[in-house]
Structure 1
Amino acid sequence: MMSADTRQLPSLRDFRSALIVKPSSLGDIVHTLPAVKALRDAHPWLKIRWLANTEWTPILKGSPLIDEVIPFPRKTFRGPVGLLRFWNWRRTWMTLPREEPEIVLDFQGLLRSGVVSSWRGSKMVIGLSDAREGSRFFYNHTVPVDAGAHAVDRYLKLPRALGIRVEPEDIAFDLAPGTEPAGWSEPKGFIAVHPWSRGEGKSLSNSALHALCDALAPHPVVLVGMTSDPSRPTGSHIHDWSQRTTLPELIWIMRQTRFCISVDSGPMHIAAAVNPQTLGIHTWSDPRKVGPYPAGVHVWKAGRIAKRSEFSAEECQRDAGVSDEDARGIGEWVVRRLTS
């Protein structure tokens, strides 16, 4: 049964536990944290569990917002026998411990999350109105959201519909503290650079990355992220930690860095969540919808650097790659901020 009438939503005071269904992606999980914080702050007695893809659970473990992180082994559901494995996993999923009554909050809004939410067996499932692939048919209630709004603002609509007041100053991203990488001996005051993304057209080219690192010299630069490209920049001020960090270690590095420069990616949102000295680089994506959310963070888009909210609709629609000259300009802008 589905309802778009939020006046019919139940009171969280009638529940003992809440299940957050948000398996992926990395950036979207970070975007959901303020909504879960609102739940935790308003109803501290709730037992909060979070279902997330196995590869992303390390980012949630240790967060003060969550009592239990449940891994969702989505990668094992691929291939010819994937559907059978998914069906077999259902039996385990339905028997996991819970406190009744439980409310299920589906922030993912896809068919698989709707099915999984329904399989949980709880009597109350709530999702968002921009859910796709028929997932809304599995909800008891649907909260209206603006599909064009930033992901953080869309997700916050759910706790607000449940009667929780969330002021701008209440919005925070309570990530775990992270873990220092083994063998870490890099100099203090380093600049973290995350230049690669799985999204097509988002990564810096080799020449742009070299230009950026040259412009940041002599400040120590720590390269982080995942890449198969062996032609990474070298130099006495460059410390290459690419391919070498876990998610908890990446969180720790982003907390320690004096400044972070990152292309649009999950790690960019981690950096913005834990360190206001962050610059996100957007080529074709719209920073107003998917950019780094915290107010103090800056964005490069369409050839200039500004706050996310300061870009026009026309600028946000432009698909502009980062040239070598752009990269040098970004590096020089960061150096000026660090030395002013």
Structure 2
Amino acid sequence: MEPKQDNGNKISRKGFLRICGSVMAGGSILGVTGNLLWKMFTRPDDVFYGVDKKSVSANRSLKNTLISPYRKVSAFKVSDPIDAFDLYKDQLIVATPNNVYVYEPSGKLVNNFPVGSSVRDITVDDDHIYLLYPTRVEVYDLDGEWIRDWEACSEESDYCSLAVLSGNVFVTDAANKNICMYTTEGGFVKFIQSPAGFIVPSYSFGITHIDGVVYCSNPGRHLVESYSSEGEYITSFGKPGGAAGLFSGCCNPVYLSGTPTGEIITSEKGVPRISCYGKDGEFHGVLLDEKSLGGGHTAYEVRVWDDKLVVAGKDALSIFQYDKRLAVQTACATCGIDCPLRAGVTI
């Protein structure tokens, strides 16, 4: 069965918001002045992340003082811009517009197969590749053979991210501001609502699972929330602000990942950075800052791979490893967790 293609090339309101990264409350694109439009693209911090000027200033000043305990040890280009990626059995599975590529850590291409455009997220579980689109889920085997797909349970859905855990698929929906829970066969189970109420001003509605617990961002509230594998709310952590350990701007964090020992890795946009938190939400430290990541304003998707961090940016995948020499100057050196990421090297 051929993969379905998304229709049309016109930019929708939702598409525009995805590019801009924020909702202009109470307005429409026709009501935005030329000056404001120009600021949206040339000075996005002022428009989208500058609500709290002190937060932005504090966040910007971090790049002049922060020492990252990680160094880039390798990187390679991907054939097309990266929409999303995952790690599975020592391979990197990368979704791009119209294709999925499978790479070895060295960057050697192992396989590729065609898919539809507008992929929002990808995850691999039990030898199955799950692709998320704005209004559907597709499932393939590792060779790229189509297995099944299903449509969103709501015509108004606008899906962002997905995770697979204990025979269920958890999908975040920016339009309906909830999490949709399906079986891996595509059967609808239930909607999951945040007790605080999800606020989703932009496409920053990340989700993952760590040690049998589902974690998702509640970006407009600057929270990371946790749920059981049955979709029952557990707890949350997070506070707004520009300083390290806080979530800045209109809507952060964007991406979530986890370590083998259960720590939570967050990735933020605006002034991009990747940070580490304990299972209880205690802030451990910034792992990669704006300078280390390569700058810009968008968040960098991140995955933990054994003792390394794999980070996606535009059309490249970069691998970072703990540097013992640098780390002695950082909070990582005093962390009491037996973290596998600190196996590291001296570069």
Same fold (TM over 0.5): no
TM-score (norm 2): 0.23
Q: Which protein is richer in strand relative to its size?
A: 2
Q: Which protein is richer in helix relative to its size?
A: 1
Report which of the two structures shows the higher radius of gyration computed on alpha carbons. Answer: 1
TM-score (norm 1): 0.23
